[in-house]
Structure 1
């Protein structure tokens, strides 16, 4: 199991109970987590965990040897940010939820499809989603569009489908990682606002952020 876990982490995968249950159980044992972390250290990486729900490998050093892969990983997350957030917003509205999707949440395509088909604004939102790069498709039927979006989310690691023949999807730990990125960006924006607010000569620029 050590080899499989190490390879998955080095490939950029997020290990959680829904996507990689066996690997997650392995890392949940402190002794195993320590072994993996010791293996990653000479590679300028470390094992990180988000509230014990998801494990991933993060770089500890940024230099010419890894700057390219880091940029690629960041570019991938950045390109997925808007489409996935808009999809989560659509799901919250369709299912009448107050909280955004988190790891281990269940999403049933049949339930989601029924809600979207009976609400024109949700159908329009789904259609807009399929114009974004991550979900782009020429499909026009609502059921086909929704199926396509869920497939792309599965391929991108945000969802898993326990039964290939079923309609149930489970959110993975990568969703929680995305929430952490959003929080980081929000904090960075707040810091930027504070910096401008402190500069009385920069009021016009401050207003642009507001």
Structure 2
């Protein structure tokens, strides 16, 4: 288990009770966690927890020039993906009227969500906008296809995990908690985010007739 935990962390995975339950239990054991911490220290890495301690991930122990460039690139990548992720969860929260959907472990009942979207022209339009911005449009124009593509992207990116394939249940992982913390940090420290920025795709999504 030690080797698997190290490998997942070095691959940039977030380890929590939702995404990797066995590995998370391993890290919750103080002796096992200390062994991981000692090993990572030799690699200039430290084991870090999300703000509410729902998950573990890696960070650099010390920042030299190379590490600073790596962190800078990481934040640039995150900034580029923030919009689609936030817009998707805003859509889901409006659809379900649940404000706790951003919490790790929260369940997304996709059949119920899609059923409500199908019955509301405004939600369908919003879904199409999110799909356009996320480059998850469907060649057949089907809303369900767009929705499934968005879920797949979020699963691939580590924000969701498939809890029950037969029932179409997804769970939010601790990476979402990390992302929200990054959003707060960027809003406080990045002047470019003090005002809403509209990308070309967002501009198109807001102006093109979609229904």
**Which bin holds the TM-score, normalised by the shorter protein?**
0.7 to 0.9
Q: Distance in 2 between matches of 1:134 and 1:42?
A: 40
SS at match of 2:46: strand
What SS does the aligned partner of 1:92 have? helix
The residue that corresponds to 1:205 in the other structure is: none
- Structure 2 length as normaliser, TM-score? 0.83
Aligned to 2:131: 130
Superposed displacement of residue 68, structure 1: 4.7
In the alignment, structure 2 segments of 5+ residues that lack a partner are: 197-211
**1:65 deviation in Å?**
3.6
Larger radius of gyration: 1
Q: Which residue of 2 aligns with 1:175?
A: 176
Distance 1:65 1:157, change over 3 A: same
Find the aligned partners of 2:85 and 2:137 in 1 and give their Cα distance. Answer: 13
Name the CA distance, whole Å, in 2 between partners of 1:77 and 1:92: 22
CA distance in 2, matches of 1:36, 1:9: 10
Answer yes or no: is the 8 Å Cα contact 2:128–2:137 preserved in 1: no
- CA distances 1:26-78 after superposition (whole Å, capped 9, x unpaired): 00111111111111112111101122310001112232443454344223322
Gaps of 5+ in 1: 193-207
SS at match of 1:52: coil
Q: Which residue of 2 aligns with 1:85?
A: 86
Mapped to 1, the partners of 2:147 and 2:117 lie a distance apart of 9
SS of the residue aligned with 1:66? helix
The answer on 1:4 being equivalent to 2:9 is no
- Aligned residues: CA RMSD: 2.2
Q: Distance in 2 between matches of 1:102 and 1:185?
A: 20
Shift of 1:139: 4.7
